[in-house]
Structure 1
Amino acid sequence: MSKVFLLIGLSVAMVSLWNVWNLYSSYSSKRTQEEKEKDKVKGKKRSKSILTFEFIKEIGKGHYGKALLVRDKIFNKKFVLKEIPLEIYENHDLLKNEHIIHSILDNKFIVKYYGTIVFGNYIYLILEYAPQGDVLEYILNNGSLDEVAAAKIILQVLCGVDYMHQRNIVHRDLKPDNLLLFDKGLVKICDFGHCGVLTNDKEKLKGVGVGTPVYRSPELVLGLPHNEKTDIWSIGVLTYMFLTNESPFEDDDEFNITNRILKADYTLLDDGVSVEAKHFIYSCMQVNPMNRPSTQDLLNHPWILNCVYKKKKKKKKKKIYIIKNEH
């Protein structure tokens, strides 16, 4: 029986990686000759050699490798090198998945990928450096955010996720420590190891143990087939945490947390939070994925429009949101 499950798991992993490779191949074939020529010019300007970089310090350590802060000695610019032993890289589909997907993403709200270096027994991914750290660190140091600050971050997350969803890529691990802070309040999404690729609108992804527990949607918790709507749930959890500095499913017992996620039984927000913000969170955290809005819907939600764009509206009767969970 264990061999059967092992074979099933391997086949699912191979299908997932095959989808990622197909996406990469499709992207590469669609690029114009002009774009390829520009890349050649960029390559001449920035030599992809480990000797080009000066080591500053180690800034992170994970299961598979280290994050090193370095300086390009030619351009005097800081980068992050993600150092992974080749032996580990070659035997982990998650790492290959992250590498391939990140290499084809190019958006203002996604951390930039600059290339790869193989040196000795290591592979190095060259990534954009975020001087302000991540959103989790900021909240731990400064506490909860006001609605305008929270909405400005969520807007940028939505823009980045919308870009990914338009390309049939599902992030599946949106959380504060995967949102990096840059100058002038710019926020970018990072860490694409848990991403899944949909080959069409009707396809569902598979995967058990994907993502971080407290941010997982009910379908991820249960290991059920899922699509881009799982990211929408995570955006609801993020919004709640930004406004309260607490998890919506706060509990000492992990079993209780799981049950509360499955029922969308989150702690109600107090009166200090606007009705629009409560409705934004409520709409994202629907147990049934089909009842959750799209990224485009959320980009046009009154809470985002009022907080970020501060659009003046003509006086009219106040809209009343009826909050009842649709399972």
Structure 2
Amino acid sequence: MFQTLKNDFQICEEIGRGRFGTVYRCFSPATGESYACKSIDKNLLIDSTDRECLDKEPKILQLLSGNPNILHLYKVYEDDDFLHMVTDFCPNSDLYERVSSGSLSESAAAAILIQLVSAISYCHHMGVAHRDIKPDNVLFDSENRLKLADFGSAEWFAGCEGRMMSGVVGTPYYVAPEVLMGKEYNEKVDVWSVGVILYIMLSGVPPFYGETPTETFQAVLRGNLRFPTRNFRSVSSEAKDLLRKMICKDVSRRFSAEQVLSKLNFSDFHIPLF
């Protein structure tokens, strides 16, 4: 492992593993704090797209580091074979683990949602679309503060007014229909994904699903949003109205992240603010 990294940090236990590398907890004797170190093996990168994502992620994280709900990048170490990114350490269970055991109360879901939308609104203000928002990428630090992570699929859309993006990027259940249709799209794909997460937090089930990824994609493309009584009996009409505005197949009518944030700040249902 990169010697300069070892000089600055004590590398501790493995805490995660992905396609291209491993995440470790590391400890800084200088600060007395734990961090996460994402070590990516460049030899595992398959094509130019993978290499472009690798090059882009630390730059995007550095740009977005001013937001408290986005994973903070502290240091980058790189040699010919590896890229190491030292970030916030998030020891608490991620959102995937939290929703796997069932739905959340409306107030608990709202407390998570307002932090997540704050992060997305900031990304969009800075000209960045995340493009792969899912519960696995929503982490929580030692103070239970939400941290949006994994910007490997993120894309710039700033610098050119009305610039659209392309490419099928995302994860079944959470990807927006315009992405699956192969159309050009804008940053509102993130709002769709967050809407799906809100639906799952409130009901315990995804709004669109199938037995296979193909069946799931077909359900997403149909976009028939329903609120089964057995899952939504205790969910307020205000929350369901917000879901309709976020999981809206018509992009022109879908809320922006800023509109969602405004709705949350001035809504009728109780939201603990951070």
Q: 1:286 — aligned with what?
A: 248
Hey, what does 2:205 align to over in structure 1? 246
CA distance in 1, matches of 2:75, 2:264: 40
Shift of 1:192: 0.4
Instruction: Provide Cα deviations, 1:275-309, integer angstroms capped at 9, x if missing partner.
Output: 01111111111111111111121112269732215
Question: Which position in structure 1 is the counterpart of 2:72?
Answer: 112
Match of 2:10 among 54, 69, 73: 54
Deviations 1:105-145 (CA, angstroms, capped at 9, x unpaired):
121110100111135732211111002131111222x4211
Indicate yes or no: 2:224 matched with 1:230. no
Q: Does 1:200 align with 2:160?
A: yes
Query: What corresponds to 2:31 in structure 1?
Result: 75
Which among 129, 132, 154 is matched to residue 92 of structure 2?
Answer: 132
Deviations 1:181-228 (A, max 9, x none): 1244311100001111113331100112x0112100001111210111
Looking at structure 2, the residues matched to 66 and 255 of structure 1 have their Cα atoms a distance apart, in angstroms, of 29
Alpha-carbon distance in 2 for matches of 1:113, 1:165 = 18
CA distance in 2, matches of 1:194, 1:101: 11
Q: Distance in 1 between matches of 2:206 and 2:106?
A: 17
2:160 is paired with a residue whose SS is: coil
Q: Which residue among 116, 119, 132 is the counterpart of 1:157?
A: 116
The one-letter code sitting in structure 1 at the alignment partner of 2:216 is: I
- TM-score normalised over the length of structure 1: 0.75
Distance 1:242 1:304, change over 3 A: farther
> Is the CA contact 2:12–2:27 (under 8 Å) kept in the aligned structure 1?
yes
* Number of residue equivalences: 262
Cα distance between partner residues in 2 of 1:245 and 1:187: 20
For the pair shown, the structure with the greater C-alpha radius of gyration is 1
Change (3 A) 1:303 1:63: same
Q: Please point out which of 120, 127, 130 is paired with 1:171.
A: 130
The 3-state SS of whatever aligns with 2:26 is strand
Give 1:85 shift: 2.2
Partner secondary structure for residue 74 of structure 2: strand
Match of 1:322 in 2: none
After TM superposition, the score normalised by the length of structure 2 is: 0.88
Indicate the percent of aligned positions where both proteins have the same amino acid: 28
Structure 2 residue 47 is matched with structure 1 residue 97:
no
CA distance in 1, matches of 2:88, 2:69: 12
Gaps of 5+ in 1: 1-47, 311-327
Would you say the 8 A contact 2:99–2:200 is kept in 1? Answer: no
Does structure 1 retain, via aligned residues, the 8 Å contact 2:172–2:213?
no
- What residue number does 1:41 align with? none
Question: In angstroms, what is the RMSD of aligned CA positions?
Answer: 2.2
Separation in 2, partners of 1:303, 1:127 = 29
Unmatched segments (≥5 aa) in structure 2? none
Report the alpha carbon displacement of residue 146 of structure 1 after superposing the two structures with TM. 0.4
The 2-side partners of 1:169 and 1:121 are apart by: 28
Deviation sequence 1:43-101 (CA, Å, 0-9, x none): xxxxx632222222111111111111111123221111111124446951111121221
Question: Contact (CA 8 Å) 1:178, 1:191: kept in 2 or not?
Answer: yes
Q: Given the alignment, which residue of 158, 162, 174 partners 1:215?
A: 174
CA–CA distance in structure 1, aligned partners of residues 5 and 73 of structure 2: 15
Larger relative contact order (C-alpha < 8 A, sep ≥ 6)?
2
From the superposition, tell whether residues 262 and 68 of structure 1 become closer, same or farther in structure 2 (CA, over 3 Å): same
Residue type at the aligned position of 1:55: I
Relative to its length, the structure with more helix (as a share) is: 1
- Whether the 8 Å contact between 1:50 and 1:119 is mirrored in structure 2 is no
